[in-house]
A and B are shown apart, each in its own frame.
Chain A
Amino acid sequence: MASYEGSVQRLIDEFGRLPGIGPKSAQRIAFHLLKLPKEDAHRLADVIVEVKAKVVWCKRCFNIAESDLCSYCADERREAHLVCVVEEPKDIVAIERTAEYRGKYHVLQGAISPIEGIGPEQLRVRELITRISGEGITEVIIATNPNIEGEATAMYLANLLKPAGLVVSRIASGLPVGGDLEYADEVTLGRAMSGRREL
């Protein structure tokens, strides 16, 4: 493909590096931006800069946060003995929408996937173990995605945590198999949370 003048091509290349955006879409978004009023383009640029400056990983649970602790870790009304383990911050949002859960969270930042070279070492598993002993956690709910990688991760964690005498449960099936928590509707996910099974 022939390339464009300097910064336009650099912009296209940057968009092309984003997940799910092919060369054609990258080009379309770049040309859309060129046509935007200056203020609109600046607002987008500013929020990208701001997000990178302000947003960090919560030191405790690895959710996104704007200070050391995320809002869930900082909220003392939440039950501290109960932790729900998810793959990504977006899964917390999905579970919160159900209004069924009042404990803490732990974000693994992924799932076991040998194809992508991701094993337990690449996930926030060690940090979870440290939290369990340090925070008096007695019950762990595993809410990884109901797909191959999420199931493998759930089984791995269960094998690790059960011998330590913790109550370990997996959110109940009824979720669309092979799916993402993100796409489960609130009612289904709510039922899955309340009907979790012990591992």
Chain B
Amino acid sequence: MIGGGRAQTQQHVATLSLTDFRCIHNLDLVLGTGITVVIGNNGQGKTSLLEAIGWPARATSLRSVNDAAVVRAGCDQAVIRSEIVDADRRQSFEAEVRAVGRNRMQVNRQPVQRIRDLHGLLRITVFAPDDLQLIKGSPSGRRVYLDEILGGLAPRYAAALHDYDRILKQRNALLKQISRDRSAASTLPMFDEQLVSAGSEIIRGRLRLLDRLSDPMINFYRAMGEGGEILATYRAEWDDDAMLGSGDAENIEDRLRTAIERRRQHEIDRQVGLVGPHRDDIVLRLNQMDARTQASQGEQRSFALALRLAGHAVMTDILGSAPVLLLDDVFSELDTRRAAALVCQLPVGQTIISTATRLPEDVEVEQLLEMESGAVVVR
């Protein structure tokens, strides 16, 4: 295994109990600390099971925009209960997701008001079938990739990301007003300054994180059996598409302020914020060429896996505790060679793999769950 060897402990979801969660009516499970394989045809509840296991990490659906979509048809609410073990700490989690109205969450039987109060309870690394979009898709997917890791690493990044989103919305509303009425500009500096403050926190975090991801990413890519040289670089659109490195992290505030001044009129004309980390990208290269267009589909899959594995390794390394790995139907998309290579690279820790097909032979399965119509079949 590459990069993540320093883990002292690992987190694991020890028990899971579901009521009316998607197609699952009632389910009680004890999960192992190693590899659990969930097998079954499509639509039988495999992905739903992974989604429920990961719920405490994001407090929202991994798949739907609308949480209410997880409530079983005709029911008022879905209930997720789990116990999460981290070293010698065992915590209980409970979420009621309502078809109508506010969701309710509890940790150790205490109500949780804000999502950030869940920080650290459970960390996950998710491999999804559409991870290819990390390479081929729009910049937003690559930003989310970095931001999810940052948010898992420290509450202050989660707070900065949350604030930044709100600042952008307020600032965009203000830019619209200014284009109609110049006097509204009197409060623009207050939102500029907050954008600089939260924005630079995010950019600094992303630059330092990308720096740490670089080596494990390259090593994992090689370990997938690929030959070429890969590279990931941060591109700041607001800074004339400058490629930034971790050395630039120091003076981001000043650069953002200058960029805002310079593009002030342009922002007012367009009535939308053009400066800040919300428009940045990670440029991914294979042999110095754009991986989006120049890499083969197989190389792109290996690249995406290398990004996920590197993220997992860095989280494990920084936090000293391995997140739970969720692999949702990933092997069906891989050829035999890459599937076997991924199995070899899987880090130690609780790993839940859903699959509709056979797995590569050398997966050391601790627990096999077969799902049919939202229930675990006992054979």
Q: Does B6 contact A (CB under 8 A)?
A: no
Give the contacts of A101-123 with B (CB-CB under 8 A).
112-115, 117, 119-120
Q: Does B184 contact A (CB under 8 A)?
A: yes
- Interface SS, B side: helix
Given A115-B170, A178-B159, A148 and B194 contact (CB-CB distance below 8 Å): yes
Q: Does B162 contact A (CB under 8 A)?
A: yes
B194 touches A156 (CB 8 A): no
B159 touches A152 (CB 8 A): no
Task: Give bound CA distance, A149 to B174, whole Å.
Answer: 12
Residue-wise interface mask of A (142-179) relative to B, using a CB-CB cutoff of 8 A (1 in contact, 0 not)? 00000111011101100100000000000000000110
B190 touches A155 (CB 8 A): yes
- Other-chain residue from A25, A153, A155, A177 in contact with B193 (beta carbon distance below 8 A): A155
Residues of B within 8 A of A148 (CB): 163, 166-167, 170, 191, 194
Residues of B within 8 A of A156 (CB): 186-187, 190
Q: Does B169 contact A (CB under 8 A)?
A: yes
B101 touches A24 (CB 8 A): yes
Residues of B within 8 A of A24 (CB): 100-101
Residue of A nearest to B100 (CB): A24
Question: How many chain A residues touch B (Cβ–Cβ < 8 Å)?
Answer: 22
B174 touches A114 (CB 8 A): yes
- Other-chain residue from A120, A149, A159 in contact with B170 (beta carbon distance below 8 A): A149
Task: Give bound CA distance, A177 to B161, whole Å.
Answer: 12
Task: Give bound CA distance, A167 to B159, whole Å.
Answer: 30
Task: Give bound CA distance, A104 to B303, whole Å.
Answer: 62
B184 touches A152 (CB 8 A): no
Q: Does A195 contact B (CB under 8 A)?
A: no
- Other-chain residue from B100, B162, B177, B191 in contact with A152 (beta carbon distance below 8 A): B191
Residue of B nearest to A158 (CB): B190
B170 touches A113 (CB 8 A): yes
Give the contacts of B163-202 with A (CB-CB under 8 A).
163, 166-167, 169-171, 173-174, 177, 184, 186-187, 189-191, 193-194
A-B contact pairs, 21 of them (CB 8 A): A112-B187, A113-B170, A114-B173, A114-B174, A114-B191, A115-B170, A115-B173, A117-B177, A120-B187, A148-B194, A151-B190, A151-B194, A152-B170, A152-B190, A152-B191, A155-B190, A159-B189, A177-B163, A178-B116, A178-B162, A178-B163
Which residues of B line the A interface, CB within 8 A? 100-101, 113-114, 116, 159, 162-163, 166-167, 169-171, 173-174, 177, 184, 186-187, 189-191, 193-194
